[in-house]
Amino acid sequence: MTALVRLENIEVTVRDKMILSIPSLEVLKGEVLGVMGPNGAGKSTLLKTLALLDPPSQGKIYYQEEQIFNTQAPLELRRKCAVALQQSLLLDTSVYQNVAIGLKLRKNKKSEINKKVAYWLDAFNITHLAKKNAHLLSGGEAQRVNLARAMVLEPEFLLLDEPFSALDFPTKLQLLKDFKQIMSQTGTTAVFISHDLMEIKYLTHRLAILMDGEIKQLAQTAAVLESPNEAATPFIGEWKAFLQ
């Protein structure tokens, strides 16, 4: 598989403190790359770097092997990325308008907006909520709207920062099943940050363990979870012990 996004000698420094140090990282086309690590490990910083939101202090970013030279990525390139966060941050308007907002900002035709929004409302099983105010939704409903709002933009690259963490187990389980099917059907490349081993095992192809701003292990998800290396063992071991 070829890389959609590649980082080379990336460093992020804030007030002379090293937040992120990534000599090399590839996100392969069509994969869901999981990222786990303790709080303060640099996960959100890595996501912002990959999403082309914050330029690194130094290093190179390649998108489909084309280097991004500008300190801020070109608009047309950033539009190929979408981000879904733990908090849905929905607008105080209808579910339909929340899902449509990105397409409207991109000046899509009304007929095209209606077609795409209808498709993604159906894909996430929230068509019946189209006219409901988003602030009246349950947590699970709101997160479905959040993901539909990202996917309606048909991103090449999807960045997910713990979008399922606040959901109760039955709600989470059903949404994970629906989302995995959607990702399989679309072949969207994604980076998925989570603290939940179940989510990681279910959704991801490879897993990176990030600690102290560095990737300590990167391999197939099953391999990392079953045989963590010396650096990753303390973190993975704590999770395994907790779940036993």
130-173 tens-digit pLDDT: 999 999 999 999 999 999 999 999 999 999 999 998 899 999 99
Give the three-state DSSP class for 203. Answer: helix
d(CA 41, CA 49): 14
Domain architecture of the chain: domains with CATH: 3-80+155-243 (3.40.50.300), 89-154 (no CATH)
Q: Could you tell me what percentage of the chain is helix, strand and coil, using 3-state DSSP and rounding each to the nearest 5?
A: 40, 25, 30
- Residue 242 pLDDT exceeds 70: no
d(CA 141, CA 53): 27
> Mean pLDDT across the stretch 216-231?
94
pLDDT value, residue 123: 96
d(CA 139, CA 136): 10
pLDDT value, residue 87: 85
| Distant-in-sequence, close-in-space partners of 22: CB < 8 Å, separation ≥ 6 | 7, 9, 10, 11, 46, 59, 214, 215
Give the three-state DSSP class for 9. Answer: strand
On average, the pLDDT of the chain sits at 92
pTM: 0.93
> Mean pLDDT across the stretch 27-39?
96
227-238 tens-digit pLDDT: 999 999 888 876
**DSSP code for 67:** E
More confident residue, 16 or 120: 120
105-130 tens-digit pLDDT: 999 999 999 999 999 999 999 999 99
pLDDT value, residue 241: 57
Share of the chain above pLDDT 70, in %: 95
Q: Binning pLDDT at 50, 70 and 90, where does residue 59 land?
A: very high
pLDDT value, residue 244: 54
pLDDT value, residue 88: 87
